[in-house]
Amino acid sequence: MALPETSVQLYTLAAEFSADMQGSLDKLAAIGLRNVEAFDFVRRPDEIRAALDAAGLAAPTGHAPLLSDELWTPDGSIPTPAPEVVFEAAAKIGIKTVIDPFVDPARWLTLDGVTDIADRLNALVDTAAGFGIEVGYHNHAQEFIADFDGQTAYERFVALTDERVKIELDLFWALTGAQDVPALVARLGDRLVAVHVKDGIVPASNPFAPDAPAFGAESLDQRHAGTGDVPLAEALRAATALEYAVIEYDHAPGDVFADIAASYAFLVEGGFAR
């Protein structure tokens, strides 16, 4: 397998990006990055495309809600536009794969809920293709709570989705969901085209469980890639068709650009990505 390309999820630097879009992208390019993963891009595609072009960056993937009326984040909810609006904005930016980043935990607790999520995403495959775009899904930890005949809700979802649906696995959140992460990566096989490279001290219990107290990103003890609990090296080696290794912090531990640079060095100097 050719080495995946490095990228960074722009949610990592949401505050900096909002304050100075061009300056933030220029700093990412100076680190050595050539790709970003767009976030909250639907309302400003032309502005983002111009800033990416000026920085010499591309956004081959992007996060946008496709399966919910609102996208929940630890910092508030983002209304969900019509899928066609999402895909049109993505095409303007040059995004090739639009990835849904979060589905409410309660919908993952029943087989009917999981089937509905898969059916909704399957129904968008052809619509997205009309814009030259593919669709995918990105996990947190709620997808690993329910179990159906020995299969997690997450893996049942993957089995129910069209082969054309792309999978992006967040390695930190999969471990938070008590998964053997390298083994899960291996089972996903060629369906897995992107991972979120994220490290830290994994919470003692799943924060998305029905009886878990409310939490925010600031409560997470996240660290530079290779310095926490997540078996990143083993997981990356287990991938068979990985295209993008996407750096992300839900809660960067220090200066966000220094934190990104540290994880970029882990990937490139370690020979895990280019």
SS3 of 4-42:
CEEEEEHHHHHHHHHHCHHHHHHHHHHHCCCEEEEECCC
Residue 65's alpha-carbon distances to 1, 40, 46, 75, 263, in angstroms, are 30, 9, 19, 15, 27
Each of the 274 residues of the chain gets a pLDDT tens digit; together they read: 799 999 999 999 999 999 999 999 999 999 999 999 999 999 999 999 999 999 999 999 999 999 988 766 556 776 789 999 999 999 999 999 999 999 999 999 999 999 999 999 999 999 999 999 999 999 999 999 999 999 999 999 999 999 999 999 999 999 999 999 999 999 999 999 999 999 999 999 999 999 999 999 999 999 999 999 999 999 999 999 999 999 999 999 999 999 999 999 999 999 999 9
- DSSP assignment of 152-214 equals EHHHHHHHHS-TTSEEEEEHHHHHHTT--HHHHHHHHGGGEEEEEE-EEEPPSS-TTSTTPPP
Give a yes or no: residue 122 inside a domain.
Answer: yes
Q: Tally the C-alpha atoms within 13 A of residue 184's C-alpha that lie toward its C-beta.
A: 25
State the DSSP H helix or E strand holding residue 85, giving kind and residue range, or none if neither: helix 83-93
Cα torsion through 26, 249, 191, 208, rounded to 10: -150
CATH of the domain at 182: 3.20.20.150
Q: Are 206 and 141 in contact (CB under 8 A)?
A: yes
Instruction: Assign 245 to helix, strand or coil.
Output: strand
Residue with tokens 């990103």: 217
Give a yes or no: residue 176 inside a domain.
Answer: yes
Instruction: Assign 228 to helix, strand or coil.
Output: coil
- The CA distance from 9 to 217, in Å, is 15
Count Cβ atoms within 10 A of the Cβ of residue 125 and give its class: 0-12 exposed, 13-18 middle, 19 or more buried: middle
pLDDT the model gives residue 99: 98
Give a yes or no: residue 163 inside a domain.
Answer: yes
Structure tokens of 187? 């089972």
CB-based contacts of 204, cutoff 8 Å, min separation 6: none
Give a yes or no: residue 99 inside a domain.
Answer: yes
Residue with tokens 């924060």: 207
Give a yes or no: residue 274 inside a domain.
Answer: no
Name the domain count of the chain. 1
- The CA distance from 33 to 12, in Å, is 14
How confident is the model over 84-121, as pLDDT tens digits?
Answer: 999 999 999 999 999 999 999 999 999 999 999 999 99
pTM summary value: 0.96
Residue 187 belongs to domain spanning: 5-269
- The CA distance from 92 to 84, in Å, is 12
Residue with tokens 């087989």: 111
Give a yes or no: residue 31 inside a domain.
Answer: yes
